[in-house]
Amino acid sequence: MNEWLSQGRSVIGVFGHYGNWEYITAYQLHCPRVHVMQLYKRLTNEFSENLMLHIRQRFGSECVEAGNAYRRLLAAKRSGEQVAVGFIADQAVWPAHFWLEFMHQDSPVFEGAQRISSKLDFGLVYFDIYKVKRGYYEVKVIPMAEHPAEFPEHALTERYFRLLENTIRRNPEYYLWSHNRWKFKRS
């Protein structure tokens, strides 16, 4: 990832609701020359929305509503702005256009990371999060594709979910099981 960033390329990092995923918002401190963004879903409660935006942007990164992601990233690319973007891509999606098996469950999956990285030619990496000890986490960056458009449709999305499964199986207690990942069923 650092090699791609040093070449002036933009990068999308995918990960799941595992460990303390909110630490990723502090990546701006480690990479000040690159504009760091993270996608998020707007909260309906205004107080909670403002609090979460404050927490997530306090180190200089930018929160981008998931529905505006492509437009914002396209504008960044057109202006020559180099970005590193975090996608937590394990959330339930409805309506779903693509399903796969995730943790032995038929699951509707978010394909935005592969689609956007392919269209914009952003490098794609997986953030494998490890809990070292209480309050301390490490992230191993696993390159998935330097040029995602070279891969077949769904291939990188499937690889992401296989990597996430490996992360979860290593220490399942750090995964956010309560967000009801499997609330939708195929009709």
What pLDDT is stored for residue 35 in this prediction?
A: 87
75-84: average pLDDT:
94
- Report whether pLDDT(30) > 90: no
- Own/partner long-range contacts of 94-99 (Cβ < 8 Å, ≥24 apart): 94/184, 96/184, 98/154, 98/157, 99/186
> What global pTM score does this model have?
0.89
Cα–Cα distance measured from residue 19 to residue 23, given in angstroms and rounded to the nearest whole number: 9
Question: At 18, which amino acid appears?
Answer: Y
What pLDDT is stored for residue 28 in this prediction?
A: 62
